[in-house]
Amino acid sequence: MAFDFNIFLIACLTSLYFILPAYFSNGGALAFGGGTPVDFGKCDKNGVRWIGDGVTWRGIIAGTIIGIITGAVQGYLAPLILAEIGQYIITPIITDVNSGIIIGFMLGFGALLGDALGSFLKRRLGIGRGKPAPILDQLDFLIVALIMVAPFVHLNLLFIVIAIVLTLAIHLIANGGAYLLGLKDVWY
């Protein structure tokens, strides 16, 4: 079977489109976060914060709502998308508003849960807030989001690989660009 670049491109675009609720939820939590941290400032017996100030209740609520809204919009647009490229889709797809709301919630909340778990793991490993943890920093939100949505859609291996590679590339490009523009102090 020969490599078909058009099929590969459609697979990449539909994979990216499907995981948008996780991306938007993650960004929304950052943009609208702040306030009370999820761990309420609690520390373990060694004085290390459980999660840290970066994961807040306001961020989780706002990010989850953004994920739900994103999924609902995708569900609303689904008939148009399916009519245009339905025969080429080899990744999960949101088919209507109801499934969009459910999938948007699972991806959105899953992404934020993944970030919180990633922060928890970093603290246990002695990695401070804002310090790099390669791969964990880039994929914690995606992996948990995919685990959360898996009971509702079939996630094939090609989709998972594409989602991971796209997420790593987008993370590197976005953070590198923000660093070059002076919006971030570090490139990661």
Q: pLDDT digit of tens for each residue in the chain (188 aa)?
A: 577 888 888 888 889 999 999 999 999 998 899 999 999 999 999 999 999 898 999 999 999 999 999 999 999 998 888 777 766 666 777 889 999 999 999 999 999 999 999 999 999 999 887 788 888 888 999 999 999 999 999 898 988 999 999 999 998 898 888 789 887 777 77
Residue 58, classified by CB atoms within 10 Å of its CB into exposed (0-12), middle (13-18) or buried (19+), is: middle
> Is the pTM here over 0.85, yes or no?
yes
User: CA–CA distance from 158 to each of 15, 97, 106, 171 (Å)?
Assistant: 9, 25, 20, 20
Spatial contact of 21 and 107, defined as CB atoms under 8 Å apart: yes
